Structure 1
Amino acid sequence: MNKPIMNCLLCERELQGGMGWKELLTAVLPKTICQRCEQRFEKVTQQLDADVVTLFHYNDAMKDFLHRYKFMHDVVLAHVFNREIAAHLNRNPRLIIPIPMHPESLKQRTFSHVDECLKAANIPFEQHLAKLSSEQQSKKTRQERLSTAQLFEVTNPAAIKHKNIVLFDDIYTTGTTFRHAKKALLEAGANTVDGFILIHS
């Protein structure tokens, strides 16, 4: 996004403060949502899995955000959580790999919502996974998700061999997507694989 964000991306209220000296001198990303909207999102205070960090709970505010971002194709909303994502991944020495979409799903949605979040936070990443099925995990029952066949393959094993990797995704429900991607990467030669996920459902 090239022009400054003057109004909250979610409610369009005027943002207070704008780009100050702190942002200019330290390269901190500017605010994109107002304090009132920030307070509607519930942060995760206790992590449930040793190898996965999640930032927010899946409350009503988050449901509304995801609906607008993913299904109403409001791509600019990729910037809503850019500060939080940057704070956790900026200057991270590990290789960051986003969970990919199946080509058919990408064609229908027209953009990769996971990739766009990383781009908005100025986080470098590499794509070394391909999704094998166009089935959406959100449409399956918990039991169906847990019994799903391998969802991913590694497209360039040499690029991930002996690497420490962080997998980035938007939402964690049963953990099936993360576990499948982690298994594929470890079997292809990755050293370690951890997860950094925006929402815990």
Structure 2
Amino acid sequence: MNLFPQAQCLICHEIIQPLMGWRAIFSEEKELIICPTCEGKFEKIQGEKCRICSRSFQFLDERFRHGDLCHDCERWEEDPEWKGYLDSNHSIFIYNDFFKEVMAKFKYRGDYVLAKIFVQSIKEFLRKTTPDFLVPIPLSNERLYERGFNQAEAVLIESVLTPTVPLTRIHSEKQSKKSRLERIHIPQIFQVDHQIEIIGKNILLLDDIYTTGSTLRHAAKLLKESGAERVQSLTLAR
């Protein structure tokens, strides 16, 4: 019997060397997902950060910080059309070059198994909050056909969590190609399924990357206008 079965890193595919010693033998067995080298390349957001969007203040010029808000969130909150819809966003990792490459494999090259990498972080966050619904940001039918799966929904499913889908996407243009101003002024990109009772509910949106916050705010605005009490979001990277 092999107490230490070999496992391959889901990212670099190198053999993961298990921890040795009595503590490893008698501790709860955990599935080996990624090697220490790849794990070390993920940078968690730590220290002071924006109260709303989780932007790290560590390397942010003071000109772009206003108390506990970053400049972008202050502009969102000064706009009466958007103020107060997204209560907060929590982002786990910094969107560095390594994360960008991992996400490209996951989203655009169809490497579904990479969803497993984020399971522990998702579960750790959900120990601190108890939303009524976990809502993955939906893709357009065109994007879903291209990718084969919704990456946000995949992470929830791999975490053995049940997604609720009260939103569908009605605007199919790629948001990543638009400027912040263009994203703000596009029409509502979602519609809500009124058969799902969201009045008074605490909702957690899930998406892969927080860029300008426009997509999440479109979703939050529609949900709150439809009766949701609170809308937060969790994104893998910022």
Which secondary structure does the structure 2 equivalent of 1:160 belong to? Answer: coil
> Contact conserved, 1:53 with 1:196, CA < 8 A, in 2?
yes
Q: Which residue in 2 is equivalent to 1:55?
A: 92
Q: Which residue in 2 is equivalent to 1:108?
A: 146
Residue range with higher mean Cα deviation, 111-120 or 150-159: 150-159
Which secondary structure does the structure 2 equivalent of 1:80 belong to? Answer: helix
User: CA 1:87 to 1:102, structure 2 compared with 1: closer, same or farther past 3 Å?
Assistant: same
Residue range with higher mean Cα deviation, 136-145 or 64-73: 136-145
Q: TM-score, normalised by structure 2?
A: 0.74
User: CA 1:36 to 1:115, structure 2 compared with 1: closer, same or farther past 3 Å?
Assistant: same
Residue range with higher mean Cα deviation, 29-38 or 136-145: 29-38
Return 5+ residue gaps in structure 2 as ranges.
53-87
User: CA 1:145 to 1:80, structure 2 compared with 1: closer, same or farther past 3 Å?
Assistant: same
> Contact conserved, 1:5 with 1:32, CA < 8 A, in 2?
no
Shift in Å, 1:77: 0.9
Identity %: 36
Instruction: State the superposition RMSD in angstroms.
Output: 2.2
Cα distance in structure 2, aligned partners of 1:34 and 1:88: 22
Return 5+ residue gaps in structure 1 as ranges.
none
Cα distance in structure 1, aligned partners of 2:6 and 2:171: 37
Q: Which residue in 1 is equivalent to 2:35?
A: 34
Which secondary structure does the structure 2 equivalent of 1:125 belong to? Answer: coil
Shift in Å, 1:86: 1.6
Q: TM-score, normalised by structure 1?
A: 0.87
Shift in Å, 1:121: 1.6
> Contact conserved, 2:6 with 2:15, CA < 8 A, in 1?
no
User: CA 1:102 to 1:42, structure 2 compared with 1: closer, same or farther past 3 Å?
Assistant: same
Residues paired across the two proteins, number? 193
Where in structure 2 are the equivalents of 1:93-172 lying within 5 Å?
Answer: 93-94=130-131, 95-156=133-194, 158-172=196-210
> Contact conserved, 1:160 with 1:190, CA < 8 A, in 2?
yes
Cα shift readout 1:112-157 (whole Å, capped 9, x = no counterpart): 1111111112222211111111111101122211222211111136
